[in-house]
Structure 1
């Protein structure tokens, strides 16, 4: 009898803790064909834990559920199948190579570490967006931990190449 009450007491302690992080409601991308397959492979391949934040249960409100993953609270949210980010120009925008994945973060977000940043892969198909709350800034460790899954599952036909200004001076 004593053992049964000890187990019941332990369950009472564990059950409330299990409910601390509610299901996260998200909107996902609507993708089909090969992009849907690649996004599903990516979402399956990402780690269960990123920067010590556990993967979240999701309720997808719209779009394809196999295009999104999230970790922690506040949540890091990865969305696969996004378009070219606003403000990105292949000619004028800087890309950050982190562990073999090129990312674009708008300059004003790069400068202000106290606010959320949105990093988008450049060159990978389909493109991936990662919403990074200020609590995870600077985001280098997050990007490093996600890079192996991105490199292993997505195509990279168009790496971000920033022209070297010295190239224009060559004869």
Structure 2
């Protein structure tokens, strides 16, 4: 699966590599699949490609007053237009962590599969990434 992720350097690259290497082969019942380029700071699962990116940019619609959904202790920002329309892909971002991570959830995985993925990821995010600001 081809991913578009900016290359990382320094501490962010080291932290992301360690974090990504810790992620499970199966997430929410979906098998991990290869990403290209192979050194991209990303992992993907399932035929539709649920893609996690480490070192993700801040979402353009995120503001200091934006709310987050907290799932098992990890705050995720969901763009309101994507969140409201379950028929579109959803790009969720854990904005309170450094390096920041995002999870692209294809529309076909929204619902039980995505909730399980966010829940499962909490066990990997909290010990590996630095919480710099709690979401509201």
Q: Give me the TM-score of the superposition, normalised by structure 1.
A: 0.74
SS at match of 1:28: coil
Quote how far apart the aligned CAs of 1:101 are: 0.7
Q: Which has the higher contact order (CA 8 A, sep 6+)?
A: 2
1:16-37: per-residue Cα shift (whole Å, max 9, x none)?
Answer: xxxxxxxx12222221111001
Q: After the TM superposition, which of the residue ranges 31-40 and 137-146 deviates more from structure 2?
A: 137-146
1:83-138: per-residue Cα shift (whole Å, max 9, x none)?
Answer: 211100112x1101011111001111111111100000021000001100011112
The corresponding residue for 1:77 is 51
CA root-mean-square deviation: 1.3
Structure showing greater radius of gyration is 1
Are residues 1:41 and 2:15 paired? Answer: no
Matches within 5 A, 1:16-31: 24-31=1-8
Are residues 1:59 and 2:32 paired? Answer: no
SS at match of 1:59: coil
Question: Partners of 1:146 and 1:66 in 2: how far apart?
Answer: 19
- Out of 125, 133, 146, which is 2:121 matched to? 146
- Out of 101, 122, 127, which is 1:128 matched to? 101
SS at match of 2:53: strand
Structure 2: 5+ residue stretches without partners: none
Matches within 5 A, 1:68-107: 68-91=42-65, 93-107=66-80
Quote how far apart the aligned CAs of 1:66 are: 5.2
Question: Partners of 2:77 and 2:35 in 1: how far apart?
Answer: 26
The corresponding residue for 1:13 is none
Aligned pairs, number: 134
Please identify runs of 4+ aligned residues in structure 1 that moved more than 3 A: none
Question: Partners of 2:34 and 2:95 in 1: how far apart?
Answer: 27
